[in-house]
Chains A and B, each alone.
Chain A
């Protein structure tokens, strides 16, 4: 994937937080690392189209998702992205099966109980071992199962880019390590580029080839994975290009 991001957005009124991320990368696995409040989540939402910046542009693989000068702001449903929310955002009134099939049905009605599974959905259900849980509701699933359902839901629509908002933050240390490896294996299995948000450098290292460090709404630096040093001692601020 090639991703160019350069926009600014003032959140919460004239004296509010100023989000001004700028970077450009060709990497297949990217991470945004930084403390909470840095604006990582907001940046991801802007890439997804859930947040409209004030000015700037966002280009993915040559397609313009957002460009203030050209007046372009593609709505989320046209961007063909997958988004894993921090608390998974599973639809509580639908079963796991209905959740996973959600993006595959364009109409105004939710897929009914026993609809046939399209191939893309079936693939992920089997890959994540979700078959026994399909008829359960989200509040009847464990955290790990919920995450897998959320991933299956995002991947079933064959997105061009997968956005992961702090996928491991809510897990305890053991589970975290386990899931980290699972996600790494997943990344290798799928051909889809990923952008990961995290405040944990270990997550970033395991799951990304390029790490951009963000603080107070700006991207300050980046790390290619071969350098074990901390993010601080690489290139100059405001020049994060590969």
Chain B
């Protein structure tokens, strides 16, 4: 229900903004896992800065990266893993000097809320009755890369064989688990919190590299004037407080 309010609030605010003249418009392109948090951040920033409109677009980090590489007019890029940001930096599409880590997440193993309590750790996934395990596609989705790395580090990568269901983004993985289409899935703690009543967190996994979210200004000649300010806002106390509400931790 929370998400209706957030969606409704963001929509209502954007609708209210439609008629007014904007001193500044800002477009933030962010990873799908940041959807709800960033919508909240956008609307509270707009309230604090009347006359500024913050537009958002969300998608898998790699899709958003591709869009920015091709010159899409975003002002900020917030990705769900360092690899996507590294690529952006290497291609020169972001201002390297503005790159900051603004939030941290943890990788969790979840099962549908009504699943029997037989799975207590990732090891238990080896059981024969576990037919389907959802994870993000490691080739294109950050959560998938973290999942694979964590499993490899724990020597458990083989349990994925012939049982993996790949999701195009983390929300899809969450959705599969929520609806009971799969027996278990790997998502971020923030995503699991979104569906707290429909999934159950079984275990928090260690990842070889911490799940830290970077943000940077996009290198564009016509960069919005509010872009740098919004980035600072992400790192400020009010911004971090909002992120904490969604179960992100400090970077």
A and B touch in the complex (CB under 8 A): no
Measured CB to CB, the residues of A under 8 A from B are none
B residues lining the A interface (CB < 8 Å)? none
